[in-house]
Amino acid sequence: MKPGAQDFAEAAERHLDDVHAFLVYLTGDRSVAEELTAETFARACERWRRYDPRRGSARTWLCQLARSTALDHFRAEDRRRRREGRYALDVPEAEEHGFGEGLSPALETALSRLSAAEREVLALRVVLDLDGESASRVLGISTTACSTRLSRALQKLEREVSAGVAA
């Protein structure tokens, strides 16, 4: 049975915060994450008829779509920067980057030093509490690779936090 409009509304309401949290950790920028969340759900609405609940949960499907939307955004930004000649400057913009409420400055700084892939696996496995199989499906990697990436990201995060506290 194909999912209907009511099913989409329920899934969107249930998983909106999870998708937004995932995109905040992926991008490191709350305002960009808000834009990408809106884009993700617009795409999801258009493609909902193609969602097959036998292949995974709506949450996993939405996170896969969010990841794809974010990657499209990163590619477009890369092209824009090259066109504008600012790509080579590599100067960070002066906008506020925030991963969440109540994080210590040391943890906030440590998270900003992780790669997008490391933040992505942490967001899926720790923040959203997806199981290894679901997270690996979102990332398009094996469960073993997902577990290894998570372990390395946690180790790096611990080193970064320890270094920030010691400084």
Q: What is the CATH number of domain 5-166?
A: 1.20.140.160
User: Average pLDDT of 137-160?
Assistant: 92
Instruction: Specify the pTM.
Output: 0.68
Residues 99-115: pLDDT tens digits?
666 677 888 888 888 88
Sign of the alpha-carbon torsion through 60, 62, 65, 70: negative
User: Average pLDDT of 65-78?
Assistant: 90
CA nearest to 76, candidates 36, 16, 121, 126: 36
Residue 62, token pair as written in the block: 């939405």
DSSP 95-140: ------TT--HHHHHHHHTS-HHHHHHHIIIIIS---HHHHHHHHT
pLDDT at 89: 52
Residue 162, token pair as written in the block: 């320890």
Cα separations (Å) of 18 from 61, 91, 124? 12, 30, 9
